[in-house]
Protein backbone atom coordinates (compact mmCIF):
# COMPACT_ATOMS: atom_id res chain seq x y z
CA UNK A 1 0.00 0.00 0.00
CA UNK A 2 1.40 3.39 -0.98
CA UNK A 3 1.63 6.17 1.57
CA UNK A 4 0.36 9.69 0.97
CA UNK A 5 2.65 12.50 -0.15
CA UNK A 6 3.61 15.01 2.48
CA UNK A 7 2.07 18.45 2.28
CA UNK A 8 4.56 21.29 2.01
CA UNK A 9 2.50 24.13 0.58
CA UNK A 10 1.62 26.85 3.17
CA UNK A 11 -1.98 27.04 1.97
CA UNK A 12 -5.20 26.05 3.68
CA UNK A 13 -4.00 22.89 5.39
CA UNK A 14 -7.49 21.61 6.13
CA UNK A 15 -8.46 21.77 2.44
CA UNK A 16 -5.18 20.16 1.39
CA UNK A 17 -5.54 17.43 4.02
CA UNK A 18 -9.12 16.81 2.92
CA UNK A 19 -8.14 16.37 -0.75
CA UNK A 20 -5.16 14.16 0.13
CA UNK A 21 -7.10 11.87 2.46
CA UNK A 22 -10.08 11.65 0.08
CA UNK A 23 -7.80 10.67 -2.80
CA UNK A 24 -6.09 8.13 -0.54
CA UNK A 25 -9.28 6.36 0.54
CA UNK A 26 -10.74 6.35 -2.98
CA UNK A 27 -7.58 5.14 -4.70
CA UNK A 28 -6.17 2.64 -2.24
CA UNK A 29 -7.66 -0.81 -1.73
CA UNK A 30 -8.32 -0.19 1.95
CA UNK A 31 -10.28 -2.60 4.09
CA UNK A 32 -13.36 -1.28 5.85
CA UNK A 33 -11.71 -2.16 9.17
CA UNK A 34 -8.56 -0.16 8.43
CA UNK A 35 -8.33 2.50 11.13
CA UNK A 36 -7.68 6.04 9.91
CA UNK A 37 -5.97 7.66 12.89
CA UNK A 38 -5.22 11.35 13.18
CA UNK A 39 -1.67 10.55 14.27
CA UNK A 40 -0.90 8.24 11.34
CA UNK A 41 -2.44 10.58 8.77
CA UNK A 42 -0.77 13.69 10.17
CA UNK A 43 2.61 11.91 10.16
CA UNK A 44 2.18 10.78 6.55
CA UNK A 45 1.14 14.28 5.46
CA UNK A 46 3.74 16.05 7.60
CA UNK A 47 1.21 18.38 9.26
CA UNK A 48 -0.41 18.78 12.67
CA UNK A 49 -3.44 16.76 13.82
CA UNK A 50 -5.85 19.71 13.84
CA UNK A 51 -6.35 20.09 10.05
CA UNK A 52 -6.46 16.29 9.74
CA UNK A 53 -9.24 16.16 12.36
CA UNK A 54 -11.22 18.82 10.49
CA UNK A 55 -10.69 16.99 7.19
CA UNK A 56 -11.95 13.72 8.71
CA UNK A 57 -15.03 15.50 10.03
CA UNK A 58 -15.75 16.82 6.52
CA UNK A 59 -15.32 13.35 5.00
CA UNK A 60 -17.68 11.99 7.65
CA UNK A 61 -20.28 14.66 6.82
CA UNK A 62 -20.01 13.76 3.12
CA UNK A 63 -20.63 10.09 3.84
CA UNK A 64 -17.21 8.72 2.90
CA UNK A 65 -16.03 7.61 6.33
CA UNK A 66 -17.61 6.67 9.62
CA UNK A 67 -16.33 8.06 12.92
CA UNK A 68 -16.98 5.79 15.87
CA UNK A 69 -16.82 7.17 19.38
CA UNK A 70 -13.67 6.07 21.23
CA UNK A 71 -12.64 3.91 18.26
CA UNK A 72 -11.64 6.26 15.45
CA UNK A 73 -12.39 6.70 11.76
CA UNK A 74 -13.04 3.94 9.21
CA UNK A 75 -14.29 3.67 5.65
CA UNK A 76 -18.05 3.81 5.43
CA UNK A 77 -19.96 0.56 5.04
CA UNK A 78 -22.92 0.59 2.65
CA UNK A 79 -26.05 -1.52 2.86
CA UNK A 80 -27.88 -2.62 -0.28
CA UNK A 81 -30.63 -0.13 0.58
CA UNK A 82 -28.14 2.73 0.90
CA UNK A 83 -26.65 1.82 -2.49
CA UNK A 84 -30.14 1.78 -4.03
CA UNK A 85 -30.91 5.17 -2.48
CA UNK A 86 -27.67 6.65 -3.85
CA UNK A 87 -28.31 5.32 -7.35
CA UNK A 88 -31.93 6.46 -7.30
CA UNK A 89 -30.76 9.97 -6.44
CA UNK A 90 -27.96 9.83 -9.01
CA UNK A 91 -30.39 8.69 -11.71
CA UNK A 92 -32.80 11.54 -10.98
CA UNK A 93 -30.05 14.16 -11.06
CA UNK A 94 -28.17 12.80 -14.08
CA UNK A 95 -31.30 12.33 -16.18
CA UNK A 96 -32.21 15.92 -15.34
CA UNK A 97 -28.66 17.09 -16.15
CA UNK A 98 -28.52 15.53 -19.60
CA UNK A 99 -31.87 17.12 -20.40
CA UNK A 100 -30.84 20.55 -19.10
CA UNK A 101 -27.31 20.63 -20.54
CA UNK A 102 -26.46 23.37 -23.03
CA UNK A 103 -25.22 21.23 -25.92
CA UNK A 104 -22.43 22.96 -27.84
CA UNK A 105 -19.95 21.67 -30.43
CA UNK A 106 -17.28 21.99 -27.74
CA UNK A 107 -19.24 19.79 -25.32
CA UNK A 108 -19.86 17.16 -27.99
CA UNK A 109 -16.16 17.16 -28.89
CA UNK A 110 -15.13 16.72 -25.24
CA UNK A 111 -17.64 13.91 -24.72
CA UNK A 112 -16.47 12.22 -27.92
CA UNK A 113 -12.84 12.30 -26.78
CA UNK A 114 -13.82 11.13 -23.30
CA UNK A 115 -15.64 8.13 -24.78
CA UNK A 116 -12.54 7.22 -26.80
CA UNK A 117 -10.34 7.44 -23.70
CA UNK A 118 -12.77 5.33 -21.68
CA UNK A 119 -12.56 2.60 -24.31
CA UNK A 120 -8.76 2.83 -24.38
CA UNK A 121 -8.39 2.64 -20.59
CA UNK A 122 -10.74 -0.34 -20.45
CA UNK A 123 -8.72 -2.10 -23.14
CA UNK A 124 -5.41 -1.49 -21.32
CA UNK A 125 -7.04 -2.38 -17.98
CA UNK A 126 -6.04 0.96 -16.45
CA UNK A 127 -8.58 0.87 -13.64
CA UNK A 128 -8.00 4.27 -12.05
CA UNK A 129 -7.85 6.20 -15.32
CA UNK A 130 -10.99 4.42 -16.52
CA UNK A 131 -12.87 5.42 -13.35
CA UNK A 132 -11.58 9.00 -13.56
CA UNK A 133 -12.63 9.25 -17.22
CA UNK A 134 -16.03 7.75 -16.45
CA UNK A 135 -16.53 10.37 -13.75
CA UNK A 136 -15.28 13.11 -16.08
CA UNK A 137 -17.83 12.19 -18.78
CA UNK A 138 -20.71 12.61 -16.37
CA UNK A 139 -19.11 15.72 -14.87
CA UNK A 140 -18.91 17.40 -18.29
CA UNK A 141 -22.65 16.97 -18.77
CA UNK A 142 -23.42 18.32 -15.31
CA UNK A 143 -21.10 21.28 -15.90
CA UNK A 144 -22.92 22.06 -19.15
CA UNK A 145 -26.09 22.77 -17.16
CA UNK A 146 -24.41 25.80 -15.60
CA UNK A 147 -25.73 24.65 -12.21
CA UNK A 148 -22.83 24.71 -9.73
CA UNK A 149 -24.87 23.16 -6.92
CA UNK A 150 -25.88 20.25 -9.14
CA UNK A 151 -22.21 19.67 -9.97
CA UNK A 152 -21.26 19.71 -6.29
CA UNK A 153 -23.98 17.26 -5.23
CA UNK A 154 -23.29 14.89 -8.12
CA UNK A 155 -19.55 14.91 -7.41
CA UNK A 156 -20.23 13.86 -3.82
CA UNK A 157 -22.62 11.12 -4.92
CA UNK A 158 -20.02 9.88 -7.42
CA UNK A 159 -17.44 9.66 -4.63
CA UNK A 160 -19.77 7.66 -2.41
CA UNK A 161 -20.68 5.35 -5.28
CA UNK A 162 -17.04 4.79 -6.15
CA UNK A 163 -16.41 3.86 -2.53
CA UNK A 164 -19.14 1.21 -2.96
CA UNK A 165 -17.72 -0.02 -6.27
CA UNK A 166 -13.99 -0.13 -5.52
CA UNK A 167 -13.96 -3.91 -5.19
CA UNK A 168 -16.60 -4.60 -7.85
CA UNK A 169 -15.06 -2.66 -10.73
CA UNK A 170 -15.36 -5.60 -13.14
CA UNK A 171 -19.13 -5.84 -12.69
CA UNK A 172 -19.94 -2.92 -14.96
CA UNK A 173 -16.74 -1.29 -16.24
CA UNK A 174 -17.09 -2.97 -19.64
CA UNK A 175 -20.52 -1.40 -20.20
CA UNK A 176 -19.35 2.23 -19.86
CA UNK A 177 -18.01 2.86 -23.41
CA UNK A 178 -21.17 1.69 -25.18
CA UNK A 179 -23.43 3.45 -22.66
CA UNK A 180 -21.52 6.72 -23.03
CA UNK A 181 -21.58 6.35 -26.82
CA UNK A 182 -25.38 5.97 -26.76
CA UNK A 183 -25.74 9.14 -24.68
CA UNK A 184 -23.34 11.02 -26.97
CA UNK A 185 -25.07 9.92 -30.17
CA UNK A 186 -28.45 11.03 -28.82
CA UNK A 187 -27.00 14.46 -27.96
CA UNK A 188 -25.41 14.69 -31.41
CA UNK A 189 -28.83 14.09 -32.96
CA UNK A 190 -30.34 16.73 -30.72
CA UNK A 191 -32.66 14.23 -29.04
CA UNK A 192 -32.61 15.11 -25.34
CA UNK A 193 -35.34 12.57 -24.57
CA UNK A 194 -33.28 9.81 -26.14
CA UNK A 195 -30.21 11.00 -24.23
CA UNK A 196 -32.19 10.93 -20.98
CA UNK A 197 -33.42 7.41 -21.74
CA UNK A 198 -29.86 6.25 -22.46
CA UNK A 199 -28.62 7.84 -19.23
CA UNK A 200 -31.41 6.20 -17.22
CA UNK A 201 -30.62 2.77 -18.69
CA UNK A 202 -26.89 3.24 -18.06
CA UNK A 203 -27.31 4.02 -14.36
CA UNK A 204 -30.05 1.40 -13.84
CA UNK A 205 -27.82 -1.38 -15.18
CA UNK A 206 -24.92 -0.52 -12.89
CA UNK A 207 -27.28 -0.21 -9.91
CA UNK A 208 -28.89 -3.57 -10.59
CA UNK A 209 -25.55 -5.37 -10.94
CA UNK A 210 -24.08 -3.84 -7.79
CA UNK A 211 -27.14 -4.50 -5.63
CA UNK A 212 -27.41 -8.09 -6.90
CA UNK A 213 -23.75 -8.63 -6.05
CA UNK A 214 -24.22 -7.24 -2.53
CA UNK A 215 -27.31 -9.34 -1.93
CA UNK A 216 -25.58 -12.51 -3.10
CA UNK A 217 -22.54 -11.72 -0.98
CA UNK A 218 -24.74 -11.29 2.10
CA UNK A 219 -26.88 -14.31 1.31
CA UNK A 220 -29.99 -12.27 0.56
CA UNK A 221 -32.57 -12.97 -2.10
Report the distance separating Cα 143 and Cα 120, nearest Å.
24
> Which of 50, 76, 148 lies closest to 18 in space, CA to CA?
50
pLDDT digits (tens, 9 = 90+) for 73-91: 998 888 889 999 999 999 9
Report the distance separating Cα 169 and Cα 182, nearest Å.
21
pLDDT digits (tens, 9 = 90+) for 30-59: 777 888 988 889 999 988 899 999 999 999
The structure's pTM equals: 0.81
Instruction: Tell me the β-bridge partners of 75.
Output: 65
Instruction: Tell me the β-bridge partners of 68.
Output: 72
Across residues 82-109, what is the average pLDDT?
96
* pLDDT range class, residue 3, cuts 50, 70, 90: low
Instruction: Give the CA diameter of the chain.
Output: 57
Per-residue pLDDT at 220 exceeds 60 = no
Report the distance separating Cα 158 and Cα 173, nearest Å.
15
Across residues 170-180, what is the average pLDDT?
86
Across residues 7-21, what is the average pLDDT?
77
Report the distance separating Cα 211 and Cα 83, nearest Å.
7
State residue 65 phi and psi, 5-degree precision: -135, 165
Side-chain-facing half-sphere of 160: CA atoms under 13 Å: 26
* pLDDT range class, residue 8, cuts 50, 70, 90: low
Strands (E), the chain: 65-68, 72-75
**Cα 23-150-14 angle, rounded to 5 deg:** 35
SS3 of residue 76 by DSSP: coil
SS3 of residue 73 by DSSP: strand
Report the distance separating Cα 221 and Cα 219, nearest Å.
7
CB neighbour list of residue 79: distance below 8 Å, 6 or more residues apart: 214
Amino acid sequence: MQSMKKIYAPQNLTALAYESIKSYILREDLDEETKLTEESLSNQLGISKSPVREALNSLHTQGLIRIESRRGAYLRRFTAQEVKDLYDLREALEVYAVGAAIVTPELLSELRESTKRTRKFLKTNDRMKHIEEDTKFHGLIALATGNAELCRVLANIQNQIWLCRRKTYELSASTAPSAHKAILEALEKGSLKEAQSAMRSHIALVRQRLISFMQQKNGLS
